[in-house]
Copies of this chain bind each other. A is one copy, B any other.
Amino acid sequence: MSDGTDETDGTNRHRVLDAVLDEVSPSDDERATLRDAYEAVRERALAALEDEGVDGDVTLVGSAARDTWLSGDRDIDVFLLLPPSLERDEFETVGLNVGKEVFPDGTVEYAEHPYVQGNEGGYDVDIVPCYDLDSAEELRSAVDRTPFHKEYVRKVAEEHDGFGDEVRLLKAFARGAGVYGSDLRTRGFSGYLCELFVHHYGDFSSVLEAAADWTPPVRVEFEEPTKEFDSPLVVIDPVDPSRNVASVVSQDAFARFVDAARGWLDAPDESFFFPKEPEPIDADELIETLEERATRLIAVVFDAPDVVDDQLYPQLRKTRRSLVEELERKGFDIVRSRVFASENDASGGGGRAVVLVEANVGEQSRVEKHVGPPVHVREHATAFVEKYEGDDAEENVVGPYIEDGRYVVERDREHTTVEGFVRSDDFFGVGMGKNVETKVRDGYDVLVGEDCAVLLDEFGVELARYFDPKTPSG
């Protein structure tokens, strides 16, 4: 609890928020630069549409269009509004042709449709085709919603003084808490979600006060939903009531936001918005930490597959989760686990991925206790006894004996260490996700204990965060 009175708190809070706003609001210069970049792209795109003989338009969407973007953001989304009469094939072709016309050196990226990404005046610009619809009820694809989001938020902002600033504060706060972004690495709050929260609760502070008391399921409904949702956080899209804007938010992102909201309300401080990145740890610190913890740290290291983060991270997490579940089934007590990957370089490749597992003990006994059926369940019980006492029974089995009314045997444990398991072929029995499995099958290293120091060049900050998870966004 803060020691100050409410008034001092309020004053302090306002002082901090004003300072944050200074940091995160784009300056007039920045606005002008962005506007110039967009206008240049728009001009070339309109000309290209004309060359294609298509009666389309060009529009700026995203936070730049809604004046809710954070100073320093370098992304611009430019949408080509194409006539609904265009067939799918033609629609895609026109989109790509216009994109390549605007950015002859641009790259083709793939979401629901392919689109072109290029650079204009220091901004990353996406040129995305969508259908120019009269109503959101006619949506043909996810991107078709975007112009309607823009329209909706603009109307909200018109009637809401200071809307952009409040949204910017919330976005920056979520970013500081490590939960800003609806990508599958972050699984946090999208910009649109932040806008809807400010619209619903009124301002930045009211969102945080509400969040401090959030108990799942939390529901924010602008329209009667047309679908059932059972997520812990449900925010119905006012533009499409069959959609939960918060569907990607993970349990831990939700909890981290709630935790940060309480922290801020208790002791408002700029560090919530601009947390310091921890210093990378060095080999000596790693070795000392492992000695103090007396745990066994095991890292499985392999080439990161050349896929986007939205594919990579779900696969890495699946691998981590499956591995930990399998190890726990085998009696290992896993203190914590984590995944890291280094960024691919521009050519797409060269990155390394790490699945890190920290075990409570380095080595288990050779005795694996296996609890069988209750003795009274005759059919299963007899089969169990036959399996371990019959002529074809395994060797080196102690029992079956009876404990708590059940048959129990003690078998020879196959893997007494975590590294023994991950070095064996049994590791491939663990569900990994397609691209990760391919790379792991190509070859992987297993690092144990202080050998993990070789990771520090690339992952010193991640390991610092791992060992001191109080650090925000740990």
Contacts and interface: CB of A to CB of B under 8 A. Distances in A.
Given A335-B365, A365-B293, A258 B375 contact: yes
A214 B376 contact: yes
Interface in A253-267: 254-256, 258-259, 262
A467 B398 CA distance: 8
A376 B258 contact: yes
Contacts of A406: 255
Contacts of A259: 375, 381, 385, 402, 407
B400 A252 contact: no
Interface in A362-408: 363-367, 369, 374-378, 381-382, 385, 389, 398-407
Contacts of A400: 470
A256 B331 CA distance: 28
A296 B212 CA distance: 48
Given A251-B404, A378-B262, A402-B252, A295 B365 contact: yes
A294 B251 contact: no
Label chain A's interface by main secondary structure.
mixed
A416 interface: yes
Interface in A310-363: 331, 333, 335-336, 360-361, 363
A147 to B, nearest CB: 36
A258 B373 CA distance: 13
A255 B294 contact: no
B252 A403 contact: yes
Interface string A195-233: 000000000000000001111100000000000000000
Interface of A: 212-216, 251-252, 254-256, 258-259, 262, 292-296, 331, 333, 335-336, 360-361, 363-367, 369, 374-378, 381-382, 385, 389, 398-407, 410, 416, 467-470, 474
The 10 closest A-B pairs by CB, nearest first: A401-B469, A255-B375, A295-B365, A251-B405, A294-B365, A294-B366, A361-B361, A255-B405, A255-B402, A215-B376
